[in-house]
Structure 1
Amino acid sequence: MIILGIDPGYINTGYGIINIINNKINFITEGVINTKNKNKYFIINNIYNKLLFIILKFKPINMAIEHIFVGKNFDSIIKLSYAKAASLLVAENNNIKIFEYNYNKVKK
């Protein structure tokens, strides 16, 4: 079972891919989608397209993604929501089952 883990971020969205076979976790790859652009529409599209490439290449069946930590900076929350929405949309469009976790669980 191949699982894609996502750490959504507006400028840097992290990802990792593992394969679980007979309860043994095998590392496949990890990386960061960097977006250094001021245009939010470009950023959302960039995250979507790069995750789509990763999904088509590795064919995960599940995705683990962080719940957005609600802090005091609403601008940051909105920007993180863009990255998370792009991630959720690409997973949903590719029939990947989505699991959301608190940040401390998904980092493990």
Structure 2
Amino acid sequence: MIILGIDPALRTTGFGVIEKQGSRLRYIASGTIKTGSETALPPRLKVILASIGEVIATYRPACAAIEKVFVNVNPQSTLLLGQARGAAITALVGADLDVAEFTPTQIKQAVVGTGKATKAQVQDMVARLLKLPGLPGSDAADALAVAICHAHSHDALSLIGSLSPGASSLHMKNGRLV
């Protein structure tokens, strides 16, 4: 199963693509989508939408996961981040992908083992888990961490289904158990 992880932001959106085979994870690709800060908002959102569409067309993921917006001290920054996240989600659902959503704490917990991990700790663990030759950039590492978190949550859902009769119909939709 190929999983696309997205770390949304208006200036630099990270993406990470991994493959999950059983309990093993394999790195496929990662990078950033840069929109520039001088351009007006609508063209920047278009860049995010189109670029994620290109990533989807290139790597053909089976599903996607995205980081949930956290409330920032600056409401204007939170609003802009939400709009970038909306453009990313639109690209994902426009490609008919199921989209799981995870909080930063859930992602850090899944990758590092603590919800209070630093960016450097996330980068280091992503590199170790995916056996990368070096550290990925922080935005790409965050996106890969989102994909890893989704891979781990998929394992948990499979376990629930195998342990409980009738629970096999449970699955993840929009980051929630249904």
Band the TM-score falls in, shorter-chain normalisation: over 0.9
Structure showing the higher helix proportion among its residues: 2
- Structure having greater relative contact order (Cα 8 Å, sep ≥ 6): 1
TM-score (norm 2): 0.58
Task: Spell out, residue by residue over 1:39-78, the C-alpha distance to the aligned partner (whole angstroms, 9 max, x if none).
Answer: 1000100000000000001011111111101122111111
Partners of 2:11 and 2:54 lie apart in 1 by 18
Say if 2:46 is the partner of 1:45: yes
Q: Tell me by how many angstroms 1:38 deviates.
A: 2.7
- Counterpart position of 1:63: 64
| Contact map agreement 1:67 1:101 (CA 8 A) in 2 | yes
Say if 2:87 is the partner of 1:95: no
- Counterpart position of 2:172: none
Partners of 1:63 and 1:17 lie apart in 2 by 9
Letter in 2 for 1:74: P
Q: Tell me by how many angstroms 1:106 deviates.
A: 3.1
1:68 alignment partner, SS class:
coil
Partners of 1:26 and 1:15 lie apart in 2 by 15
2:16 alignment partner, SS class:
strand
Say if 2:35 is the partner of 1:5: no
> Which one has a bigger Cα radius of gyration?
2
RMSD value, Cα: 1.1
- Counterpart position of 1:33: 33
Structure 1's consecutive aligned runs of 4 or more residues displaced over 2 angstroms after TM superposition are 104-108
TM-score (norm 1): 0.94
| Contact map agreement 1:65 1:106 (CA 8 A) in 2 | no
Identity %: 29
- Counterpart position of 1:75: 76
Partners of 2:3 and 2:105 lie apart in 1 by 18
Gaps of 5+ in 1: none
